[in-house]
Structure formats: C-alpha cells, structure tokens
Amino acid sequence: MANTALADPDAGLPPAQLAARHGLRVAGQRPSLRRYSSQLWKYRHFIAAYANAKLTASFSNARLGQLWQVLTPLTNAAVYYLIFGLVLEQSRGMDNFIAYLTTGLFIFNFTQTTVQQGTQAISGNLGLIRALHFPRACLPLAITVTQFQQLLGSLAVLVGIVLATGEPITLAWLMLVPAVLLQSVFNAGLTMAVARLGAKATDLKQVMPFILRAWMYGSGVLYSVKLFSENLPGWATALVQFNPMLVYIELARVALLENAPLLNDSLFLTWLVAVGWAIVMGLGGYLYFWRGEQEYGRG
Amino acid sequence: MVDHLAMSNDVTVTLPRVQERIPTVVVDDAHVVYRVHKGSAGNTSPVAALKRMVTRTSAPNVREVHAVRGVSFTAYRGEAIGLIGTNGSGKSTLLRAIAGLLPVERGAVYTQGQPSLLGVNAALLNDLPGERNVTLGCLAMGMSPAEVQRQLPEIIEFSGINQRGDFASLPMRTYSSGMSARLRFSIAAAKKHDVLLIDEALATGDKAFRKRSEQRVRELREDAGTVFLVSHQLSSVRDTCERTIWLESGVIRMDGPTAEVLRAYEAFTNAK
C-alpha cells in the first residue's frame, strides 16, 4: 500500500470502496426524514415564489386577469343557487339558503381544486423535476398555497354574500380562522398523498372527478345536512359525521351563520374530528410522499 | 476531504494534496433498463385488456429497453468529460442515471453531492416572464432570495435575451427555442455545482452564445466541479473536454483523451 500510495492512493481500489472512501453517495438516494424536512424548510422561499407564479400564470391569458379569482366563485354560487335553490327548492325550511350553500361550496371547492391539481403535481411538472433538484414536496405544497390564496378571494366574496343576506357579525366569525387553517393542513397532506398516487397511476386523473363528486354529495354542500339523519340508517349517519369535508364545512357554517342546520350536535366533537383529520392527513400524507421521493421523475 | 485525511492513518496523509485525484462520480458496472409505454400500439380493445387482467399477463404496450449495459468509469474533480456516440447509444440515459433520475437495474452509481442535469427539454413556466423564471429557477436550485436578487441581472445579461429589446419581461412562450434554451442554460450555470451534466444544451443558440457558454463551462470546472457534456457537435466537445467517453449500444467503446477518441469516432462514423 505504501508504495502505490506515492503514485495514487486509490489505485486498485474496487469502485464501491473508492466511493465510500471519498464520501460519495449512491445517486438518487432518498434523504432521511429529518434531512428532508430541513431541506424543505430551506426551500420555503421557492414554495412561496412558485405558488405566486402559478397563481399569476393561471390568469395570464385571461383579459380580466386576477378579477377571475372573485368572478369564478361568484358565478359558481349563482349557478348552484339557480339549480338547487330555485329549481329543486332545497331551501325549504331553511333561513338563509344562499349563505348556507355558498359557504359549503367555497369551503369544499378549496379541497376539490387542491386535490384535482395535486394529482398532477408530479406528472405535470416532469420537466422541472428532471432538470433541477429540490425536495419534491415543494410542488404539492405550492399547489396548496396557491389554492389557499384563491380561497382568500372566495372568502371575501363569501363574507359579502353572508352580510348581504342579513347575517350579523359576531365573535363566532373568528372561528373561521382556525377552521380554515386546519383544513389547509388537511389539504396539504391529502395533496401530497394524491401527488404520489398520481405520479405512478396516471389513470387517477380520469377517476378523480368522480371521487370528488361523490365526496361533494356526501358532504352536505348542496342540500340540508339534516337529510342525512332523516334518510340514512344510524350507522351511516355516524360515518358521515366523520367525513372531514363535512366537518370543515360545518365549522365554517357555525362561524358565519346564525341558524344553519348542523349534523353534528356537539361542537366540541366537531373540533376534535377537525383537528384529528388535520394531524392524521397532514402527517400521513407527508410521510407517504417522502417515502416515494426517489421515484419522482423516473421512468 | 479533510475528514478522511484526519481519520486515515495511511502513508498518504503526509503527501501533498495535489497528488490526490478526488473522484466525484463513480459508475460501477451500471445497467439501466427503462420501461416505455408505447401508447396506442398493440391490441388496446377493452376485451383484450379484460383478458389480460384475467390471465394476469402484463400489458403488451410496455416494452423494456436495456439502454446502458454495464458501464464503469470514474470521473475526477476538475475534469470535463465529453460523452459521444451515435443516436440511441445510451448517452442521455447514462446522464439521467448519474443524476439519480433513473434507477440502475444492476451495479451502482456513486456521486459527490447532488449532480444537476441540464437538458434542453427542461421546461419552466412558459406563461411567465423570463425574469420570473430566473428567480424561480434560482430558488429551485436552493439559492436564498438575496442571492437571487444579486445574480438576476448577471444571468439575464449572460443569456443575452435582451439583445433584441426587453424580452426578459415578456412571457417565455414568446421566446424562440434558442432563446429559451439559452435562458435555461444561464440559470443552471449561475450556481456552482459539484457535478454538472449538460445534455445537448450548448448546441442551441448562436455562435456568440456558444463561445460564452463554453467559457462558462471552463469556469465551472475550475470551481472544482466536474462537467459532463453530451453533444453531437464534436467541435464543442473538442473545445471544452479533455477526456471523452464513447458509448455505443450502451457499452463503453472507448475512454480516453478527447483527441484520440474523437479521431476513432470520426473514422467509425465516416466508415458507415
């Protein structure tokens, strides 16, 4: 060894040992969870910039530009009110159906669009993924941030509608803040989960609209939630009570509306379920996404 | 580097450091197999799909391509290595395996730090202005916002997209393909990389830009990185690389000084 060392200390070393000796790592290896999380934290500016960029880009071809952020939810609410409020008369026996409907619609829409775009977070950004190295969780997280910004636009519209339909401003309105934040954490986790699923199973994009529509009907967005307890057997109603979307929507309704019909009688239990879902989905989605980190952009 | 010197009680410790060549990429008998979805080829009727599900045979529209077959080499710090070979010889696949974007079927690829792959098809956000894309790209490479602000004018300047009016503030979809390739190269070249992999990126753009980018590749190399360059333009390989690896059908046909390898390669392609 001493003789050959003068010329080249690495001579004759098998490649694996040579690599180990100089601290080289296997290409494309997944970082540890701790390392990954700290990397992700370092990339927070990228997440924010990417989310902003996406938001601007999505309106860049429209002449009305950012105005659509408000116009889209408004038109949406108008269409659903026309069908479910006036044609199907779901408003029977309800004090303020317009506000009830729009609250549910906007809160559900937040999760819906986030998940829809999340399925393509990886598969739609292969160019970026193959070109540059960054923690891939940035992409689904940026989608959540973009949609959160959209939600703020919708909420401004919502407050307008709620006030215009005669609801008073109360202290309960403050509850909207933690409710929406919990939902955002839930969304972030769910988006990461579907991002990994969508990266492998490209068919998910085709299936997702159906899943989301079924979920919407199960969340009491378009009609009174009392219909669940009236028409479903007891166990099924209990199951619906644990539906995360129903829970987040109910919390928003409790916060904004005076006499909205609710499925969950105990507000405390509702909060508990909301927090539970945020933790389970937030952490679970993150772990699930991280475990697939080395696979994204391959193939 | 310092770590292992301190730990090892070998005779090498007393030697001057210049003597030691530091490997940055070690490729050990790597095989890369990738699976291609052929899309509409083959029998795609619902009945056939159902039959496959029942009989549990894999879909016929997935085909395996054994693109890299047992490649081994070691690249050292400060080297610029050209990768040449006829179309479909596995050059780009090998680069992607080094970047960690394709798994190796057998063998192993070891790298120093995180190699960055710079390809012509690396798309940023086409609806956004060039400037915004520079900011995004730099943040995606892990720069801090302050650093990005400092580098932004330099990158725009280097890319030369403002030579014909203020293109930096126009959406990238209005750029010509040469312009956007130049901008992408400029973004990736703004950061020091341990290992930079360039796939045909220098072939785009005009002559003046090619000269500038070759100069930049040399600078990157001097900053103690290793540069891999895949190109069909033998002149740019000759100007930037002193070592060249010639791949043919997924195996190394030759590995050595650029002049020697290029001579043999030219003889090979002319004979065909």
- Within a 10 A sphere around the Cβ of A29, how many other Cβ atoms? 12
Nearest to A141 by CA among A157, A121, A156: A121
The DSSP result for B36-75, as a single string, is: EE-TT-S---HHHHHHHHHHTPPPTTEEEEEEEEEEEEEE
Instruction: Quote the number of domains for chain A.
Output: 1
Q: Which pLDDT band holds residue A271 (cuts at 50, 70, 90)?
A: very high
The minimal CB distance from A2 to the residues B11, B19, B110 is found for: B11
Domain that holds residue A255: 46-295
pLDDT average, residue stretch B113-136: 75
Q: Using the predicted structure, report yes or no on whether residue B124 has a pLDDT greater than 50.
A: yes
Partner-chain contact B101 A297, CB within 8 Å = yes
pLDDT tens-digit map of B185-237? 888 888 777 888 887 765 666 778 878 887 887 787 777 678 888 887 888 88
Measured distance CA(A131)–CA(B122) in Å, rounded: 5
What is the sign of the dihedral through the CA atoms of A184, A185, A190 and A196? Answer: positive
The reply to whether A237 falls in a domain is yes
Question: What pLDDT, on the 0 to 100 scale, is given for residue A68?
Answer: 80
Measured distance CA(B253)–CA(A293) in Å, rounded: 34
* Best residue of B5, B61, B101 to probe chain A, by most A CBs closer than 10 Å: B101
Angle between helices A267-291 and A244-256 (to 10 degrees): 130
Question: What pLDDT, on the 0 to 100 scale, is given for residue A85?
Answer: 77
The reply to whether A141 falls in a domain is yes
Q: Which helix (H) or strand (E) holds A234?
A: helix A234-241
pLDDT tens-digit map of B58-110? 556 677 788 888 889 999 888 889 999 888 888 888 888 888 877 788 888 88
Q: Which pLDDT band holds residue A41 (cuts at 50, 70, 90)?
A: very high
Partner-chain contact A24 B22, CB within 8 Å = no
A26, β-bridge pairs: B110
CB contact A171 to B (< 8 Å): no
Partner-chain contact A57 B127, CB within 8 Å = yes
Q: How wide is the angle at C-alpha A47 spanned by C-alphas A44 and A52, nearest 5°?
A: 130
The minimal CB distance from A49 to the residues B27, B112, B139 is found for: B139
CB contact B109 to A (< 8 Å): yes
The reply to whether A33 falls in a domain is no
Question: What pLDDT, on the 0 to 100 scale, is given for residue B4?
Answer: 47
Question: What pLDDT, on the 0 to 100 scale, is given for residue B8?
Answer: 43
Return the CA Rg of chain A. 24
For residues A96 and A257, is the Cβ–Cβ distance under 8 A? Answer: yes
B146 → chain A, closest CA residue: A45
Partner-chain contact A21 B4, CB within 8 Å = yes
pLDDT average, residue stretch A238-253: 91
Partner-chain contact B28 A16, CB within 8 Å = yes
CB contact B12 to A (< 8 Å): yes
CA neighbours within 13 Å on the CB side: how many for A22? 25
Instruction: Please identify among residues 180-219 of chain B the ones whose CB lies closer than 8 Å to any CB of chain A.
Output: 184, 188
A25 vs B248: which has the higher pLDDT = B248
Measured distance CA(B109)–CA(B74) in Å, rounded: 10
A129 → chain B, closest CA residue: B122
CB contact A16 to B (< 8 Å): yes
Measured distance CA(A112)–CA(A117) in Å, rounded: 9
Partner-chain contact A5 B145, CB within 8 Å = no
Chain B positions touching A6 (Cβ under 8 A) are 15, 19
The minimal CB distance from A130 to the residues B22, B35, B117 is found for: B117
A23 → chain B, closest CA residue: B112
For residues A127 and B121, is the Cβ–Cβ distance under 8 A? Answer: yes
Nearest to B69 by CA among B84, B90, B87, B83: B90
Mean pLDDT computed over every residue of chain A: 85
Sheet holding B243-248, edge to edge: B116-119, B195-199, B226-230, B80-84, B243-248, B251-257
CB contact B49 to A (< 8 Å): no
Q: Using the predicted structure, report yes or no on whether residue A150 has a pLDDT greater than 80.
A: yes
What are the backbone dihedrals phi and psi of residue A75, each rounded to the nearest 5 degrees, phi first? -65, -45
A293 → chain B, closest CA residue: B101
Distance of residue A41 Cα from the nearest chain B Cα, in angstroms: 11
3-state secondary structure of B119: strand
The reply to whether A175 falls in a domain is yes
Sheet holding B23-37, edge to edge: A25-26, B106-111, B23-37, B62-76
Nearest to B134 by CA among A23, A136, A172, A49: A49
Question: What pLDDT, on the 0 to 100 scale, is given for residue B15?
Answer: 41
Distance of residue A131 Cα from the nearest chain B Cα, in angstroms: 5
A27 → chain B, closest CA residue: B100
Question: What pLDDT, on the 0 to 100 scale, is given for residue B193?
Answer: 77
Nearest to B78 by CA among B194, B249, B230: B194
The reply to whether A211 falls in a domain is yes
Q: Using the predicted structure, report yes or no on whether residue A148 has a pLDDT greater than 70.
A: yes
The reply to whether A240 falls in a domain is yes
The minimal CB distance from B10 to the residues A9, A18, A43 is found for: A9
Distance of residue A127 Cα from the nearest chain B Cα, in angstroms: 5
Beta strands in chain B (DSSP E): 23-37, 62-76, 80-84, 106-111, 116-119, 195-199, 226-230, 243-248, 251-257
Nearest to A115 by CA among A219, A179, A222, A198: A198
CA neighbours within 13 Å on the CB side: how many for A132? 29
CB pairs A-B closer than 8 Å: 152
Distance of residue A299 Cα from the nearest chain B Cα, in angstroms: 6
pLDDT tens-digit map of A216-238? 988 888 888 888 888 888 888 88
pLDDT average, residue stretch B178-188: 81
The reply to whether A28 falls in a domain is no
Partner-chain contact A15 B97, CB within 8 Å = no
The reply to whether A8 falls in a domain is no
Question: What pLDDT, on the 0 to 100 scale, is given for residue B112?
Answer: 84
Partner-chain contact B11 A42, CB within 8 Å = no
For residues A23 and B7, is the Cβ–Cβ distance under 8 A? Answer: no
* Best residue of B94, B110, B117 to probe chain A, by most A CBs closer than 10 Å: B110
Nearest to A239 by CA among A256, A268, A219, A265: A219
